Amino acid sequence: MQNHTSKYFQKNLLTLLIVIGSFVLAPFAYAQDYQVSSNEKNLKFKVAIGRFSNETNYGKSLLRDNDLDPLGKQAADILTAYLAMSDKFLIFERPDLSKIEREQGLSGDTGIVGVDTLIIGSVVEFGRAADGQRGLFNRKKVQTAHAKVAVRFVDVRTGLVFHSATGTGDATNETKTVLGVGSTAGFDATLNDKAISVAIEDMIEELVNTLSGRTWKTDILAVEGSNVYISGGEKQGLKVGDRLAVMKEGKTVKSNQTGFNITLPASKVGELQVISLFGDNETNEGAVTNVVSGEIGDGRPEGLFVTTVN
Model confidence over 173-203: pLDDT tens digits? 887 766 555 555 566 778 888 999 999 999 9
Q: What is the pLDDT of residue 35?
A: 35
C-alpha pair distances (Å), 98 with each of 8, 105, 146, 157: 80, 11, 32, 22
CA dihedral over 303, 304, 308, 310, signed as positive or negative: positive
Delimit the domains of the chain by residue range: 45-212, 217-308
Q: Is 109 helix (H, G, I), strand (E, B) or coil?
A: coil
Name the more confident of 21 and 250: 250
Whether 80 shows a pLDDT value over 70: the answer reads: yes
Whether 104 shows a pLDDT value over 80: the answer reads: no
Residue 244: phi and psi, rounded to 5, are -130, 155
Residue 193: phi and psi, rounded to 5, are -60, -45
Q: How confident is the model at residue 19 (pLDDT cuts 50, 70, 90)?
A: very low
Least confident piece of the model among 125-139, 218-232, 257-271: 125-139
Task: Please state which CATH class domain 217-308 belongs to.
Answer: mainly beta
Least confident piece of the model among 36-40, 107-111, 211-215: 36-40
Q: What is the pLDDT of residue 1?
A: 47
Q: What is the pLDDT of residue 53?
A: 84
217-308 and 45-212 share a CATH fold? no
Report if pTM > 0.75: no
From 3.30.565.10, 3.40.50.10610, 3.40.640.10, 3.40.47.40, which CATH number describes the 45-212 domain? 3.40.50.10610
C-alpha pair distances (Å), 169 with each of 29, 124, 142, 195, 207: 37, 12, 16, 5, 16
Q: What is the mean pLDDT of the chain?
A: 77
Q: What is the pLDDT of residue 60?
A: 63
DSSP state of 167: E
Average pLDDT score over residue span 79-100: 77
Least confident piece of the model among 21-25, 68-72, 244-248: 21-25
Whether 79 shows a pLDDT value over 60: the answer reads: yes
